[in-house]
Amino acid sequence: MGTEDLATERLANLRDVGGMTTTDGRVTNTGVLYRSEMHRVEDARPAAEFTWPPPTVVDLRSAVERGSSPHPLSLIGSEIHVMPLLGEETGRVSDSLPPDALAGGLRTLYAAMLDIATPRLVEILDLAAEAPGPLLVHCAAGKDRTGVVVALLLRLAGVVPEQVVADYLVTGENMPGVLRRLRGHAILPDGRVVDKEVTKVSVAAVEQVLTIIDGHPQGPEGWFLDRGARPEAVELWRKRILG
Predicted pLDDT of residue 184: 67
Predicted pLDDT of residue 96: 55
Predicted pLDDT of residue 212: 98
In order of start, what are the domains of the chain with their CATH numbers? 3-242 (3.90.190.10)
- How far is residue 139's CA from residue 146's CA, in Å, rounded to a whole number? 6
Percent of the chain with pLDDT over 70: 84
Predicted pLDDT of residue 64: 87
Reply yes or no on whether the pLDDT at 193 is more than 50. no
**Model confidence pLDDT, tens digit, residues 20-60:** 999 999 999 999 999 999 999 999 999 999 999 999 999 99
**Model confidence pLDDT, tens digit, residues 60-100:** 999 989 999 999 999 999 999 999 998 875 444 444 566 66
Reply yes or no on whether the pLDDT at 192 is more than 90. no
Q: Residue 6 — very low, low, confident or very high, per pLDDT cuts 50/70/90?
A: very low
Write down the pTM of the prediction.
Answer: 0.91
* Average pLDDT over every residue of 108-134: 96
Reply yes or no on whether the pLDDT at 189 is more than 70. no
Q: Is the peptide bond before 99 cis (omega within 30 degrees of 0)?
A: no
Reply yes or no on whether the pLDDT at 136 is more than 70. yes
- Cα-based distances in Å from 3 to 7, 8, 42, 43, 67: 6, 9, 9, 11, 22
> What is the DSSP secondary-structure string of 125-137?
HHHHHHSSSSEEE
Q: Lowest mean pLDDT: which of 28-42, 102-116, 189-203?
A: 189-203
- How far is residue 56's CA from residue 154's CA, in Å, rounded to a whole number? 18
Q: What average pLDDT is seen over the chain?
A: 89
Residue 75's nearest CA partner among 41, 46, 52, 30 is 41
**Backbone dihedral angles phi then psi of residue 43, each to the nearest 5 degrees:** -65, 140
Q: Lowest mean pLDDT: which of 92-96, 153-157, 216-220, 228-232?
A: 92-96
Q: Which residues pair with 82 in a beta bridge?
A: 59
Predicted pLDDT of residue 196: 64
Percent of the chain with pLDDT over 90: 78
For residues 60 and 138, is the Cβ–Cβ distance under 8 A? Answer: yes
Predicted pLDDT of residue 101: 62
Predicted pLDDT of residue 93: 46
Q: Residue 5 — very low, low, confident or very high, per pLDDT cuts 50/70/90?
A: very low
Predicted pLDDT of residue 49: 96
